[in-house]
Each structure stands twice: as C-alpha cells, then as structure tokens.
Amino acid sequence: MRLSIFWRLTIGFLAIIVLVSGVNLFALHQIRQITEFSNALVSTHYPAIDSAKWLIDSLYAQVRNEKKYLAVRDDIFLKHFDTDAREFQRTLDALLEQEGSPDGQHTLKEVETLHDDYRILFHTEARLEPVRTRKMSKEYESQRDAIVTTITKHLEAFMDLHAASISTVINDGRRRSEQAGVVTKQLVILALCLGLLLASLATYSILSPLRRLQEHIRQIGLGNFKTAVNVSAPSDLRELVESVGAMAKKLQELDDLKAEFVSHITHELRSPLTAIHAGTQLLLEEIPGPVTEQQRETLELMVESSRQLIDMISSLLDLSKIDAGMMEYRIVSSDIKRVVDTSVNKIRLLADRERIRIVIEAPSGPVFAPVDESRMQQVLDNLLSNALKFSREGGSIYLRVEPDQKEKVLRISVTDTGRGIAPQSLQHIFERFYQGGVRARGGAPGTGIGLALAKRVVEAHGGRIWADSELGKGTTMSFVLPLGGS
C-alpha cells in the first residue's frame, strides 16, 4: 500500500523530532550537571572565601580601634571595637553553620577560640590603669600580635582550602563539559545524517513527480501545449496532474483561437479602417469637392478617431506579437537625437495649440545607441503623448537625453507638469489595460496599452523603464538603454 503525502511527511518529521529530542535531552542532562557545579561555586565556595576575607578586614579594624582606645582612652573606640567583634562573631557563626568539610570547621573553631582570647586580652588590658598600661604594653602587644597573626593564618588556610575545592570543581566541570561536547557533537552528526536520510526518503517520492510535472508546466509556459502530461504520482497528486493536462489542452485551444483572432483583426479590421481614414482624409482635402466648415469639423473628428483606432489595433497586435515571441527587432546603431526630434515634431502642433512648451535637453552632437528606430519611436511617441495629455494648458514638457559614458548607458526621461499619479497607482501603470484614477485633460480615457508596450520594447533592448511622480507637481517617465559607440 502506497503511503499518502501526509503520512510520508508525518513519519519523516516524527523521526527527525525523536532524534533531535534525544540529543536535546542528553545536552540538557549535561547542562544540569554543569549548573550544579556552578551553583556549588556561587553558593558555597566563593561566599566562603569572601566571608573569610571580610573576617580578616574586620579583625584588623578591631586592632585599629583597640590601639586608638589604648592611646586616648575614648569610649567611642571601645564601642567600635565591641561592635566589630560582635559582627566578627556573627559572621564566623554563619560560616561555621554553612561549612561542610571537617577541616574547614576545625579551622574556623580555632579562629573562634583565638578571637575569644583576643577579646579577653584586650578587655583585661583596657581595665588596667593608664599608668600601668605602659609597663604592660610590650608584653600585651606581643601577645596580641601573636593571636592576630595566628587568626589571619587560619583564615588564609581556610581560603586556600576553598580555593582548592574551586579548582577541583572547575577541573571536574571542564572535564565533564569536554566529554559532553564530544558526545553531543557525535550525537548531532548522527542525528543530522539520519535526519537527512529520512527527509530525503520522505521527500524524494514527492519531489520527483513534482519536478517532472514542473517541467511539463515549463514547456506549457514556453507555448508547447501539445506535450502529453504522463507523470506517475501519488494519489494526492493525481488530480493535480490531470488538472495540468486539462489546462494544457485548454491553452492550446485558446492559443489557436488567439491566432485566429489576430489574423482576423489584421485582415478584416485594419484594412477597412485604413481605407476609411484615407477616404476621410481625401474628403478633408476637398479632392472630391468643397466642404462646409461644419462638415470639415466632422471630417477632422473622423480622421482623428480612425487614426486613434488604427494605433490601438497596431499596439494590440504588437503586444500579441511580443507575448508570442514573434516580434522582430532590427537593432542597429542609431542617432537617438534624430528619433527624439521626429517624435517631438509629431506632437508640436498640438502642443502649440494648447500653449504647452516642449523643452529638449540633449548634447549638441549626435548620440548613438543600438536600437530599433521604429520601435524606439513608438516608445517616445507613447511617453510624449501621455505627457501632452496630462499636462495643464500653458505648462511645459521636458525631454532629457543624458548619455553616461562611465556606466555605458543612455538615460532618457520625459517630465510633464500635470497632476501627477497617486502612489497606489504608480506601481500598476505599466500593466496592460491599466488606466489609473487620473483622466487626461479633456476627460478622454486612454486604453492602458501604450506604457505596457513601451515597457516590453525597452526591456527587449536590454533596458529598464520606471516612473517617478508627485501629486500636484507632475510625472517623470524614465528609461535607460545600453549605450553604443558613435
């Protein structure tokens, strides 16, 4: 029985999770042991050493207060001595309670006995009369120094004992850490190998038919709809394979229908429209006979409308050719300034009528680039036509030609002084049939074909086209082309 994709993935992932969980549990056990060592250091040995150091400091503070009292017989120093002695004893008692080793407890008890001797010795000396103090001073100081020195040595021995314990714990922890690292590394490598093996086995049977199906889909994307979809796949994927086969069949039918439609437009629509346009132009030129002013206005409207319709059909045909990969380009080194001048001359009369100024900023000499002149003319015609339609009456259009020899590109931009394009529409303006929310001056809607066609032509030349716009200030359409030699 063949397992479904769900169970293949589930079993594979469960096996990987079990392996990873085992590694994590082992690592967690080792971390817990190392943590116990660290707790022993933090809660026992280091505090014991710090307390011993404090006891030494406290002992010498008592000695300083003792000397001051014996020198000046001021009770404040006696009080300080007693206070420090009591704090010393409390700390020593706490340290004795926490100490677990017999050697450490013996050392601390010796310190306690010596400290009691020191207190008794001092208080005995303090009760003597000041006159007799001088006679007993040398003997007293000798006894006191011997006791203090012995206490200090005992506390230092206590610190050495805990320092040795720290060294032992650290070494033991390091050894365990190294062992845990080696074992964990081996377990991780084993888990990774087994996990990769299980993952490969679980996914191969899924990815293999999907890749074969992907290749068929790629062939369909290239226009090869007649390739039979014959893929052996799990039951979960059979419906997908059948859907791809049905899609390929339907696309073949649509492709045949599109080819027939394009052919029909080419032969059945374009020719009559051209005839209507030419006939209307003849009437407008009064070749058949004179026309009235009212008739002339109607004929001009017919000429303009038929020309727009012919341009739209031509653009649709060009887009269909590009999408089908049938568009042919005759790319040769051409003077871009000549192409620019030709496009500007086409709209100059209409721009003058609307009192829109056209400013060309370009180098004085010719600028050569490898392009198909007719197609690049089409791009500039669309950009200039849009700039003219969306510019305010009395505004300006700036056309800039900027060759960059350093980057080996040619930048061309068309800037209008219109109302601009909203940010949410800017990213869609190069999509086919997208018109946005801004209407051209006069309210005439566009077709949304021109910029889509311009984008495809520029990209076919190895270039890039984009738009920058700010509401209320205007729009700049820019594109770059690879720059050729002159």
pLDDT at 486: 45
Can you give the C-alpha Rg of the chain in angstroms? 48
* pTM: predicted TM-score of the whole model, two decimal places: 0.46
pLDDT at 466: 93
335 three-class SS: strand
**Close Cβ partners of 428 (under 8 Å, ≥ 6 residues apart):** 434, 436
pLDDT at 113: 93
Q: Name all contacts of 211-217 with Cβ < 8 Å and 24+ positions apart.
A: 213/237, 213/240, 213/241, 213/244, 216/244, 216/248, 217/244
pLDDT at 232: 66
pLDDT at 370: 92
Cβ of 456: how many Cβ atoms within 10 Å? Answer: 21
Name the residue with tokens 């690879």: 482
pLDDT at 261: 61
Query: Count of alpha carbons within 13 Å of 306, Cβ hemisphere only?
Result: 19
Q: SS in 3 state form for 461-479? A: CCCEEEEEEECCCEEEEEE
From the list 402, 403, 388, the residue with the least C-alpha distance to 344 is 388
Per-residue pLDDT of the chain (486 residues; tens, 9 = 90+): 456 666 766 776 777 787 777 777 777 776 777 667 666 666 677 888 888 899 999 999 999 998 899 888 888 998 999 999 999 999 999 988 888 888 889 998 999 999 999 899 888 888 875 544 444 467 888 888 899 999 999 999 988 988 888 788 777 777 877 777 777 788 778 877 877 777 777 677 667 777 777 777 776 766 666 666 666 666 666 667 667 777 777 776 766 666 566 556 655 666 676 777 677 877 777 777 787 888 777 877 777 677 667 666 666 666 666 666 667 788 899 899 999 999 999 888 888 888 999 999 999 888 899 999 989 999 999 899 889 888 888 889 999 999 988 889 999 999 998 888 888 888 888 887 666 655 555 544 555 678 888 899 999 999 999 999 888 888 999 999 998 654
Q: SS in 3 state form for 150-179? A: HHHHHHHHHHHHHHHHHHHHHHHHHHHHHH
297 three-class SS: helix
**Close Cβ partners of 30 (under 8 Å, ≥ 6 residues apart):** 176, 177, 180, 184
Q: Cα-flanking dihedrals φ and ψ of residue 345, to 5°?
A: -65, -30
pLDDT at 226: 63
